[in-house]
Amino acid sequence: METAVKPLDVPAAIRRRRSIKNFKSDPIAPELLQELVTLTVAAPSSWNLQDWRIVLVQSEAQKAALSAAAFNQKQIIEAPVTFVFAASPYAWREGIEPILEQGQANGWSEGFADYLRGAVPQFQETLGDKNREYAVKDAMIAATHLVLAAESLGLSTCFMNGWVEDQVKAVIGAADDSNIAIAVLVPVGYAAEPRPNPGRLPFEHNVFSETLGTPYQP
């Protein structure tokens, strides 16, 4: 078992994070895992909908099935836990009262809650097919919170896009749910390797000022 670490600050965690491909089998202490979950769902979401659906896969049987759904990538087998970030794009249709009640308990005015009661379904309805994209964005932001929180707390991760959506859905028990989308998988554990930073392109490739093509000059 690893000992408790002094958390890294956000810039340090961003700089140290690497996509780890080999994990130790060491378990994550339950309190640490709970803290990771808490920090993950502290992420913001559009309208505070919290429309991610996060499944922690830890059993050997589920890990084997999930790895098979992910082209046999072994990080899932090795890491003690893999977070499956699913998204529920039409969760808002089931009602947003719990979100409004919580917001009001935390300071939202009744008027603001009333505004959201009308505005949320109106806006989301106009999104059409983009409801999926919006829910996946929220799930990705939550996954990014997890990755940086884990790094800060001495753990390592690997964002994973390499999987077959229908197969991942079957593993998490959503095979027949057309309203569930898979955003990303994130194994979490203790790194069993140093991993070099593959580097980032100079700003001129992909950072601009005002309009695309105008170089950003710090």
Ligand X SMILES: Cc1cc2nc3c(=O)[nH]c(=O)nc-3n(C[C@H](O)[C@H](O)[C@H](O)COP(=O)(O)O)c2cc1C
**Least distance (Å) from ligand X to the CB of residue 35?**
23
As measured in angstroms, the least distance from the Cβ of 144 to ligand X is: 9
CB of 177 to ligand X, least distance (A): 23
Q: Nearest Cα to 84, choosing from 54, 45, 40, 50? A: 54
Shorter beta-carbon distance to ligand X: residue 36 or 185: 185
Name 57's bridge partners.
82
Distances 70 to 77, 150, 160, 189, 197 between C-alpha atoms, Å:
11, 22, 9, 18, 24
Q: Kindly tell me which of 52 and 92 has the beta carbon lying closer to ligand X.
A: 52
CA 152 to chain centre: 16
Say if CB 185 and CB 57 are below 8 A apart: no
For binding to ligand X (CB under 6 A), which residues are involved? 18-19, 21, 73, 158-162, 184, 195, 197-198
Coil, helix or strand for 47?
helix
Q: How far is the CB of 20 from ligand X (least distance, A)?
A: 8
Question: Which one, 144 or 179, has the nearer CB to ligand X?
Answer: 144
Residue least distant from ligand X (Cβ): 162
Q: Cβ closer to ligand X: 194 or 198? A: 198
